[in-house]
């Protein structure tokens, strides 16, 4: 009897190790107060030639460009306590870690803006990339049919026909790449590929391999937070065709793209006003009035670098966008005070699970050159795709931390049986409108075209315009807006 009780306590203690943590940032309340017009404003008036709204990569890049061109009369208003947006990072006693964006592919010779910035930040010197931040190997692996394989493209369990279809798909991608239509930054023309979803397009090409369809779906969930049937074929093909295969890279840091965001922010720190949520923007004669809880900024030019879905709530004269939507995401940082036992190989930087609803996890200590690492942080990514974003958003926000914890650990338990004994803490970031979805019809959507055109002395500068929420697009849109502002000024 006694023996049985002890055994039960032992079992409970092992199975139910206490895991701490909670939700971080949680700015939904501010967002909802802005939407419901419930924010009260201050009376102080400050006149400034240029106001930048939003301090993600778009807003920071606009600021970088203005300063680089010796223009200093601007302020950047950021809602949160720190700038960076989806490129923010955190740190604990073990490592720094990303809160969303975690890498940038090595830019090719045509990506002059990215190369200019990376040269300024010391990443690129005399044509050589700083080795510390080129992703070490092993870079990626896939857990499939009960074992890990190198690389994310499935190799285990494929039939000869599956292999043939992968080859055919690669050949089609090579043709698309050679056509020169798929570039970064993207400046696309209307295309029939934008009228059909990626899954249907694959079927039209008689590409039916379930492994190929899994890869297509994984890729669109990874880059757009949307399933392959929710993504245009144009965007799905762009994911594969826009980049050359690179021997080196990608560039990554323990804190992910927070490494870039914090350096950009440091360059323009005197201009940044944090905890300044903009809740209204209105035209007043030839000026724009930008309202925050403390101050009304009277500006000659506005560079709008906050998410585009918010714009009609700030300025009711802007129509609510129809036919556009934003993907909800959950990002979790798991602290592991023990490394899971591995039966097959060692952890890669990016670790993906075949058939999982998640995108897997990235290891924050991967670039650490110490011979032995016995504690680490994993950043786990989960895009809530495959159903209406509004419904998925409700699930994201109404699901409590414990239930999310269970979803995450159950998913990770497939490859790592002992995960519950290794994790001591899980913090989670719920991002209701994390990134725009390039759904069919995106390229010709009239709201998107109106944002690109801009308004009088008002320029939009976010990756939302491109449909691809990636560093290069956010930087390009930020710099474009700043260039247009400088032409006026």
Please work out the total of residues on this chain that contact ligand FAD, with binding judged by CB under 6 A: 40
Give the contact letters, 242-281, x = binds to ligand FAD (CB under 6 A), - = no.
---------------x-------------------xx---
Which C-beta is closer to ligand FAD: that of 76 or that of 158?
A: 76
Of 107 and 440, CB closest to ligand FAD: 107
Nearer to ligand FAD, 194 or 223 (CB): 223
Specify the residue, 53 or 299, whose C-beta has the smaller distance to ligand FAD.
53
Whether the upstream peptide bond of residue 413 has omega within 30° of 0, thus cis, is: no
Neighbours of 244 (CB within 10 A): 10
Q: Which of 100, 353, 392, 428 binds ligand FAD (CB under 6 A)?
A: 100
Question: 214 near 153, Cβ under 8 Å?
Answer: no
Q: Closest CB to ligand FAD among 213 and 437?
A: 437
Distance separating alpha carbons of residues 224 and 326, to the nearest angstrom: 9
Calculate the CA dihedral of residues 95, 359, 261, 54 and round it to 10 degrees: -130
**Which of 184, 331, 363, 481 contacts ligand FAD by CB under 6 A?**
331
**How many helical (H) and strand (E) elements, i.e. helices and strands, does the chain have?**
15, 21
Whole-number minimum distance, CB 34 to ligand FAD, in Å? 6
Q: What is the nearest approach in angstroms of ligand FAD to the Cβ of residue 51?
A: 10
Among 80, 194, 411, 427, binds ligand FAD (CB under 6 A): 80
Taking the least distance from each CB to ligand FAD, the nearer of 21 and 85 is 85
Residue partners of 9: CB distance under 8 A and separation at least 6: none
CA distance 124 to 68: 18
Our CB check for ligand FAD shows the closer of 311 and 347 to be 311
Q: Is 78 in the site for ligand FAD (CB under 6 A)?
A: yes
395: Cβ contacts below 8 Å, ≥ 6 apart: 384
**Beta bridge partner(s), residue 128:** 125
- C-beta closer to ligand FAD: residue 188 or 307: 307
Listed ranges 40-48, 85-93, 155-163, 316-324: which one lies at the site for ligand FAD (CB under 6 A) = 85-93
CA distance linking residue 72 with residue 70, whole number of Å: 6
The DSSP output letter for 229 is G
CA-based nearest residue to 90, from 78, 98, 100, 80 = 98
Establish if 133 lies at the interface with ligand FAD (CB under 6 A): no
Tokens of 271: 């201009």
CA dist., res. 415 & res. 475, Å (int):
37
**Per CB under 6 A, which region of 35-43, 98-106, 107-115, 236-244 contacts ligand FAD?**
98-106
DSSP string over 67-84: HHTT---EEEE-SSSSS-
Q: Which of 65, 74, 85, 166 binds ligand FAD (CB under 6 A)?
A: 85
CA–CA gap between residue 422 and residue 113 (Å, rounded): 42
The footprint of ligand FAD on residues 35-64 (CB under 6 A) is 53-59
237 touches ligand FAD by CB under 6 A = no
Burial class (CB in 10 A: 0-12, 13-18, 19+), 59: buried
CB under 6 A: which stretch of 12-20, 94-102, 166-174, 369-377 binds ligand FAD? Answer: 94-102
For the CB of residue 167, give the shortest distance to ligand FAD in the complex, in Å.
Answer: 28
| In the complex, least distance from residue 52 CB atom to ligand FAD, rounded to whole angstroms | 9
Task: Please give the residues from 459 up to 488 whose contact with ligand FAD meets the rule CB under 6 A.
Answer: 462-463, 469-471, 474
The Cα–Cα gap between 220 and 201 comes to 14
Q: Examine residue 76 and tell whether it contacts ligand FAD (CB under 6 A).
A: no
Nearer to ligand FAD, 83 or 185 (CB): 83
Kindly report whether the peptide bond that precedes residue 252 is cis, defined as omega within 30 degrees of 0: no
Sort strands 147-150 and 140-144 into parallel, antiparallel or unpaired.
antiparallel
| Residue placing its CB nearer to ligand FAD in the complex, 340 or 360 | 360
Binding status of residue 102 toward ligand FAD by CB under 6 A: yes
Specify the pairing of strand 128-129 against strand 124-125.
antiparallel
Distance, in Å, from the CA atom of 289 to the CA atom of 284, rounded to the nearest integer, reads 6
307 touching ligand FAD, by CB under 6 A: yes
Q: Which of 212, 308, 353, 431 binds ligand FAD (CB under 6 A)?
A: 431
Please, what is the end-to-end C-alpha distance for the chain in angstroms?
84
Quick one: 85 or 340, whose CB is closer to ligand FAD? 85
**CA distances (Å), origin 472, targets 58, 319, 377, 436, 460:** 9, 28, 26, 15, 16
Q: What is the per-residue binding string for ligand FAD in 138-157, x denoting contact by CB under 6 A?
A: --------------------
Asked if 34 touches ligand FAD (CB under 6 A), the answer is: yes
Angle 374-377-380 from CA coordinates, rounded to 5°: 140
With CB atoms as reference, the residue minimizing the distance to ligand FAD is: 56
Q: Going residue by residue from 378 to 407, which x/- string records binding to ligand FAD, judged by CB under 6 A?
A: ---x--------------------------
Contact residues for ligand FAD, defined by CB under 6 A: 34, 53-59, 77-80, 83, 85-87, 100-104, 257, 277-278, 305-307, 310, 329, 331, 381, 431, 434-435, 462-463, 469-471, 474
């Amino acid at each position: 009897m006694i023996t049985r009780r002890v055994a039960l306590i032992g079992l409970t203690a092992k199975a139910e190790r206490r895991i701490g943590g909670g939700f971080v940032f949680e700015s939904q309340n501010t967002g909802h107060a802005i939407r419901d017009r419930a924010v009260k404003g201050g009376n102080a008036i400050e006149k400034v030639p240029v106001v930048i709204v939003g301090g993600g990569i778009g807003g920071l890049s606009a600021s970088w460009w203005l300063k680089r061109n010796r223009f200093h009369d601007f302020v950047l208003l950021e809602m949160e306590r720190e700038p960076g947006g989806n490129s923010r990072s955190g740190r604990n006693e073990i490592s720094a870690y990303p809160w969303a964006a975690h890498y940038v592919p090595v830019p090719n010779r045509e990506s002059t803006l990215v190369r200019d910035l990376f040269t300024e930040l010391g990443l690129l010197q005399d044509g050589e990339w700083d080795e510390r931040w080129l992703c070490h190997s092993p870079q990626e692996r896939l857990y499939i049919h009960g074992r890990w394989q190198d690389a994310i493209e499935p190799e285990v369990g494929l039939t000869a026909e599956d292999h043939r279809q992968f080859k055919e798909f690669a050949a089609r991608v090579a043709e698309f790449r050679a056509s020169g239509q798929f570039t970064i930054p993207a400046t696309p023309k209307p295309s029939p590929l934008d009228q059909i979803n990626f899954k249907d397009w694959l079927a039209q090409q008689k590409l039916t391999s379930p492994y190929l369809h899994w890869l297509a779906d994984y890729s669109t969930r990874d880059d757009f937070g949307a399933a392959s049937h929710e993504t245009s074929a144009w965007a799905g093909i762009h994911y594969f065709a826009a980049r050359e295969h690179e021997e080196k890279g990608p560039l990554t840091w323990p804190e992910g793209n927070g490494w870039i965001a914090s350096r950009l922010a440091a360059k323009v720190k005197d201009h940044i006003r944090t905890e300044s949520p903009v809740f209204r923007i209105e035209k007043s004669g030839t000026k724009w009035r930008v309202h925050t809880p403390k101050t009304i900024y009277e500006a000659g030019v506005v560079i709008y670098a906050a998410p585009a879905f918010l714009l009609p709530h700030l300025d009711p004269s802007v129509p609510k966008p129809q036919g556009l939507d934003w993907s909800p995401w959950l990002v979790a940082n798991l602290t592991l005070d023990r490394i899971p036992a591995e039966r097959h190989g060692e952890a890669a930087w990016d670790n993906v699970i075949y058939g999982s609803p998640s995108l897997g996890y990235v290891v924050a200590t991967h670039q650490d050159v110490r011979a032995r690492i016995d504690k680490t942080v994993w950043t786990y990514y989960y895009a809530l795709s495959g159903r209406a974003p509004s419904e998925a958003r409700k699930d994201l926000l109404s699901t409590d931390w414990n239930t999310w914890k269970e979803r995450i650990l159950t998913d990770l338990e497939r490859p790592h049986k002992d995960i519950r004994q290794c994790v001591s803490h899980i913090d989670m970031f719920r991002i209701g409108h994390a990134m725009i979805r390039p759904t069919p019809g995106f390229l010709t959507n009239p709201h998107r075209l109106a944002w690109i055109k801009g308004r009088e002395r008002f320029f939009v500068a976010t990756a939302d315009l491109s449909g691809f929420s990636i560093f290069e697009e956010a930087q390009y849109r930020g710099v474009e807006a700043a260039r247009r502002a400088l032409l006026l000024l």
